[in-house]
Structure 1
Amino acid sequence: MKKLKLGVISLGCDKNTIDTEMFLGSLVDKFEITLNEEDADILIINTCSFIESAKQESIDTILDISKYKSKNLKVLVVTGCLSKRYGKELFEDIPEIDILLGVMNYDNILKYIEDFIKTGNRIIDNENKENTIFEANRILTTPKHYAYLKISEGCNNNCTFCIIPKIRGRHVSRSIESLVNEGKLLATQGIKELILIAQDITKYGLDLYGEKRLIQLIRELSKIDGIKWIRLHYAYPEDIDDNLIEELKINSKLCKYIDIPLQHVSDKILKKMARHTRKDKIYKLIEKLREVPDLVIRTSLIVGFPGETQEDFEMLEEFIKQKNIDNIGVFTYSQEEDTVAATFDDQIDEDIKIKRRDTIMRIQQKNSKELLEKKIGKKFEAVVDSKNDDYYIGRLNFQSPGIDGIIYIKSSHNLNIGEFVNVKIVSCMEYDFIGEVI
């Protein structure tokens, strides 16, 4: 019998990408995977609802795809954070949705699809259950030389602006053995760069082992043949200690890169956010991290948080002017229902939020150009990600895919995608380099 064609649309963060890869792995034996959504008999939309814009994108995608139900689309499955958060409303309001699953309910996805095909009865399963990490042999959707490795699920931090703990549950770590086995499997498939992600990687292992085990995990993954780079995403500032800083210095496979979600530097705002660090500790941490040669620090910031005065904003502005951070993502505060911060009376006007965001980005654009110019003439290792007509496009050790800058590489001979080469920086733009192969 001819297999039905299955397509997928994955929205939102890299953690969502991994979920998509996992449930694709659990379905690939039963269905033919198609990259053309118009050809799909079964289509899965993995949604996001972290902030209002992500929520709207997910809803628009569902409505846009639902039009295929009048053509050849037989089964429309909606999964992910939006379906966990607003499942019943979506199920009632959009009758084209055949199956709706929350983020804790992927283990039955194949059964539900088969049941719907047999009976035609719509299915909804987005109830809370004990938080676990869905694991299956992944079908990678990233380029063939790098992959994300989700080391834990959920979060215990309960920041007042964030809905994630209510969607993803409490923090749950995967075992070191499980992660090393997956790392080895990925290496046999040609993966050379592992990007470790979680809502908070610095608390890895606390629930399983009674103590934080991130460094032990990094060292075990570093032993895997074929893995050249290991990259850290979402390390909370209060848990970055001297041991992790030392590991960044001495581990040759650990990228000189760390993503720290600071969000702000005003003590008043940090307290209202229920963050566990303060301005003086942030400055001291940055100073310590700068002892790691060539380390690049990335962060995310929120402007326009309820009660943020001009004085609070100027503290953040001064922090950025000091060129403390190499790469920055700036978000205007999004008033998310069911969060504590949404109930605060002192909400900020949207036009003020946008003005503050643009101010920070203008400062950072100037900073970025100055920081990049200091690297002109220096030599680095780069990985080749793709090619256009004139250049190869790659990344340096301190550039994460999709969110940071890139390097345009000139080469007199052919390079392979996924190849690591030594390059010399010859010039730069605001965020990107131009280099040539040595």
Structure 2
Amino acid sequence: MSYKVAFISLGCAKNQVNCEQMMATVQAAGHTVSAEPAGADVAVVNTCGFLSSACEEAIDNILQMAELKKAGKLKKILVTGCMAQRYQQDVLKELPEVDGVLGTGSYGDIAAAIAEVMDKGLRPCHIGNIHTANQSGERVLSTPAWYAYLRIAEGCDNHCAYCVIPSLRGKYRSRPMDELLEEARGLARQGVQELIVIAQDITRYGTDLTGKHQLAQLLRELCRMDFHWIRLHYLYPDEITDELIDVIAEEPKIAKYIDLPIQHCNDAILKAMNRRDTKAELLALLKKLREKIPGLVLRTSIIAGLPLEDDAAFEELCAFLRETKIERAGVFPFSPEEGTKAAQMEHVSAEEARRRAELLVDVQSDVIDGYNESVLGSVREVLCEGFDPQAQMYYGRSYAESPDIDGRIWFTAPEAQPGMFVPVRLTGTMDGELTGERE
């Protein structure tokens, strides 16, 4: 039997790639991917389970699907991804509307699960080996035509004290380089202009295969392909080599934009969280990166209220952000996640963590305002992504903005098309985002 299957993907880009692979698997099995869950036979909710707030979002989406099912507009609900891996029995027990569960080691079972729920009336629970699950496979791209993700590894061996990812995604596994290059060639043939290289940690790429860092070599090969930009996500500070810095600096296709998760700067907190950096090392690395890569834009993630963070450590973190002027920062209150070491450590209340996060956002707003002011008058190459009829302006991104997590650049032009690169002179700001006009 052939069925209409709708997909809802939550969480990170790595999860989105899993969803794209499931869509391809479903199509190969003879089913149709439906754009909307209403009217579909099966809705697949691909969940994030990194934080309790992500689990809450997943449950909200599942309950929305349950309403469609109750109204007769949907037949079955399958839950996949990290929350399914983390809480499979709870999902099946507490959410009777759910018809089946697939963990992160069982994405490849999606067609079998559809057959089980639709043809056999079963309630499957597929929880495969997260350390050996296949990472490759065809994809149905769900991003706009001009950009796509290339996931080069799965899992994580960092075991930060606050993080559940290793228990959900398994040990670090690099994909073979020839396989990645073949996939990248296919994306280039499809007209992808911006290739975003992702993993939990791309810095360690290849070390599990040969004992040597291979990211620099991979990037040089990717730069030979017909991409306009190559963007890097999640470079861990302790594994950034001089060779990698040189490649980023020398290759014009590599966006001078680095996503560098730091989380904190206080030495005692970093050690307690099982991070392998010190404040002095972080400052030295940031200095080296800025010196060797002109125009570099940095993104990081910061957690307020981590265990051991007293008032002095928090003030130290505020001062660190003011000093380093990291252009992009996602700020999050500490979430004591079940099963992590950090959850067992003494920490401030959730309310205090949120208050500190809000204060950090204020600090970061000043940094962003200063950065925006510093680039006014310059001309940026902007990838147009659409037109807003209310604002009567086009919008897009330069090398300094990654999709979904950073802001946009708004600009006027006689004409522009999504997917087109446009030279824009930056002339002002609007709600913290840059504005300009076509040069």
**TM-score, length-normalised on structure 1?**
0.96
Q: Kindly indicate whether residue 380 of structure 2 is the aligned counterpart of residue 393 of structure 1.
A: no
Q: Give 1:97's aligned residue.
A: 98
8 A contact 1:372–1:433 mirrored in 2:
yes
Q: 2:406 aligns with which of 404, 407, 410?
A: 404
8 A contact 1:133–1:153 mirrored in 2:
no
CA 1:9–1:273: 2 relative to 1, 3 Å: same
Matches within 5 A, 1:67-86: 67-70=67-70, 71-86=72-87
The two structures, once aligned, show a CA RMSD in angstroms of: 1.3
In 1, Cα distance between the equivalents of 2:23 and 2:363?
42
Task: Please state how far the C-alpha of 1:128 moved relative to its aligned partner.
Answer: 3.1
In 2, Cα distance between the equivalents of 1:331 and 1:253?
31
In 2, Cα distance between the equivalents of 1:129 and 1:16?
14
Q: Give 1:21's aligned residue.
A: 20
Q: Kindly indicate whether residue 357 of structure 2 is the aligned counterpart of residue 349 of structure 1.
A: no
Task: Please state how far the C-alpha of 1:127 moved relative to its aligned partner.
Answer: 4.1
| Amino acid corresponding to residue 6 of structure 1 in structure 2 | V
In 1, Cα distance between the equivalents of 2:91 and 2:407?
37
8 A contact 1:386–1:393 mirrored in 2:
yes
| Amino acid corresponding to residue 325 of structure 2 in structure 1 | N
In 1, Cα distance between the equivalents of 2:214 and 2:114?
38
Count of aligned residue pairs for this structure pair:
434
Q: Deviations over 1:288-324 (max 9, x none)?
A: 1111111000000001012211111111010111243
Matches within 5 A, 1:124-143: 124-143=125-144
Q: Kindly indicate whether residue 333 of structure 2 is the aligned counterpart of residue 332 of structure 1.
A: yes
8 A contact 1:41–1:75 mirrored in 2:
yes
| Amino acid corresponding to residue 334 of structure 2 in structure 1 | Y
In 2, Cα distance between the equivalents of 1:65 and 1:175?
38
139-148 or 122-131, which moves further after superposition?
122-131
Q: Secondary structure at the match of 2:23?
A: helix
Q: Secondary structure at the match of 1:38?
A: coil
Task: Please state how far the C-alpha of 1:129 moved relative to its aligned partner.
Answer: 4.7
Q: Give 1:112's aligned residue.
A: 113
8 A contact 1:154–1:165 mirrored in 2:
yes
Percent of pairs with identical residues: 39
Q: Deviations over 1:349-390 (max 9, x none)?
A: 122111211111111111111111111111121101111121
154-163 or 103-112, which moves further after superposition?
103-112
In 2, Cα distance between the equivalents of 1:436 and 1:137?
40
| Amino acid corresponding to residue 82 of structure 1 in structure 2 | M
8 A contact 1:132–1:172 mirrored in 2:
no
In 2, Cα distance between the equivalents of 1:36 and 1:218?
37
In 2, Cα distance between the equivalents of 1:178 and 1:152?
12
CA 1:286–1:326: 2 relative to 1, 3 Å: same
| Amino acid corresponding to residue 401 of structure 1 in structure 2 | P
Task: Please state how far the C-alpha of 1:69 moved relative to its aligned partner.
Answer: 2.5
8 A contact 1:8–1:43 mirrored in 2:
yes
Q: Give 2:200's aligned residue.
A: 199
In 2, Cα distance between the equivalents of 1:312 and 1:129?
37
Q: Give 1:173's aligned residue.
A: 174
Task: Please state how far the C-alpha of 1:417 moved relative to its aligned partner.
Answer: 0.7
Task: Please state how far the C-alpha of 1:136 moved relative to its aligned partner.
Answer: 2.2
In 1, Cα distance between the equivalents of 2:141 and 2:387?
20
Matches within 5 A, 1:2-401: 3-29=2-28, 30-70=30-70, 71-225=72-226, 227-291=227-291, 292-344=293-345, 346-389=346-389, 390-401=392-403
In 1, Cα distance between the equivalents of 2:217 and 2:129?
32
8 A contact 1:379–1:422 mirrored in 2:
yes
| Amino acid corresponding to residue 395 of structure 2 in structure 1 | I
Q: Secondary structure at the match of 1:28?
A: helix
8 A contact 1:106–1:134 mirrored in 2:
no
In 2, Cα distance between the equivalents of 1:88 and 1:128?
17
In 1, Cα distance between the equivalents of 2:307 and 2:134?
34
Task: Please state how far the C-alpha of 1:87 moved relative to its aligned partner.
Answer: 0.2
8 A contact 2:135–2:154 mirrored in 1:
no
In 2, Cα distance between the equivalents of 1:423 and 1:177?
37
8 A contact 2:65–2:74 mirrored in 1:
no
In 2, Cα distance between the equivalents of 1:246 and 1:318?
29
In 2, Cα distance between the equivalents of 1:232 and 1:397?
11
254-263 or 170-179, which moves further after superposition?
170-179
Runs of 4+ residues deviating >4 angstroms: none
In 2, Cα distance between the equivalents of 1:431 and 1:18?
30
| Amino acid corresponding to residue 86 of structure 1 in structure 2 | Y
In 2, Cα distance between the equivalents of 1:38 and 1:337?
34
Task: Please state how far the C-alpha of 1:262 moved relative to its aligned partner.
Answer: 0.2
In 1, Cα distance between the equivalents of 2:404 and 2:122?
39
8 A contact 2:269–2:309 mirrored in 1:
yes
Q: Deviations over 1:85-112 (max 9, x none)?
A: 0001211222222220001101221122
Task: Please state how far the C-alpha of 1:430 moved relative to its aligned partner.
Answer: 5.6
| Amino acid corresponding to residue 89 of structure 2 in structure 1 | K
In 1, Cα distance between the equivalents of 2:422 and 2:247?
24
8 A contact 1:40–1:72 mirrored in 2:
yes
8 A contact 1:107–1:134 mirrored in 2:
no
